[in-house]
Structure 1
Amino acid sequence: MTDRGLALPALRHQLVTAVLTLAAPGLQDAGFDPAPHLRTLLTEACDAAAPTPWLGHTLRTPEEAARTADLGAAVETHLAALPPDPTPADHLRSPTWHPVTTAAARLARLLVHNDHHAG
């Protein structure tokens, strides 16, 4: 992998943290609130629904953008299935939550691998 550097490394850190958290169902107990992590994916560190413009900013490779788009699609499906003003429990009990954690796990492995091999 050729790393041309990232323009927004602090936001990359936020993105990786959010994805790792969403990928770890063991952390998702009764006190877990996914809303800030989903917000990071959709507004703060990238637009998971359309991640390509984030290449070189918070995403390193086209493969990261593709997997981020997969996660974005899962998140959009999940959010559409929730009631208005969902509680954290609504997120975790929804049948659409598992595809979010699965897509996050796939992306998390790639993000960590690429960060480890950047240079």
Structure 2
Amino acid sequence: MTDRGPALPALRHQLVAAVLTLAAPGLQGDAFDPAPLLTTLFTEACDADDPLPWIGHTLRTAEEAALTADLGTALHTLRATLPPDPRPTDHLHSPAWPAVTTTAARLARLLVTNDHHAH
């Protein structure tokens, strides 16, 4: 792997933490709140709607960017199923939630693997 980042390691850390939390929200217990995770994924650490420009900043590879875009799509689908002012449990009980956790798990594995193998 050619290491192309991260130029913004603190934001990379936030991104990895957000994706891991989406992959396993049950580990958060009652503290699970998706709002800051969505902020991280769509504004602070990358733009899940257009992640390619983030390669070299918080994303390392085109594959990470592609999975980030997939996660963004899953999250938009989830949002479409939620009531106005959703509670955290509304997210977890949505029929669109399994696609979020599955996609986040795939991305989390790749992010951690790429960090482990970076030189």
TM-score greater than 0.5 by the shorter chain: yes
TM-score when scaled to structure 1? 0.94
Paired positions, count: 119
TM-score when scaled to structure 2? 0.94
Is residue 2:103 matched to residue 1:103? yes
Q: Deviations over 1:67-110 (max 9, x none)?
A: 11110100011112111111111111111111000000000000
| Residues 25 and 32 in structure 2, CA contact (< 8 A), matched pair in contact too | no
CA–CA distance in structure 2, aligned partners of residues 106 and 44 of structure 1: 21
Is residue 2:117 matched to residue 1:117? yes
* Paired AA for residue 27 in structure 2: L
% identical equivalent positions: 76
Is residue 2:33 matched to residue 1:33? yes
Match of 2:76 in 1: 76
Q: Runs in 1 of length 4+ with deviation above 4 angstroms?
A: none
Higher fraction of helix: 2
SS at structure 2 position matched to 1:29: helix
Q: Supply the RMSD in Å over aligned alpha carbons.
A: 1.2
Unaligned runs of 5+ in 1: none
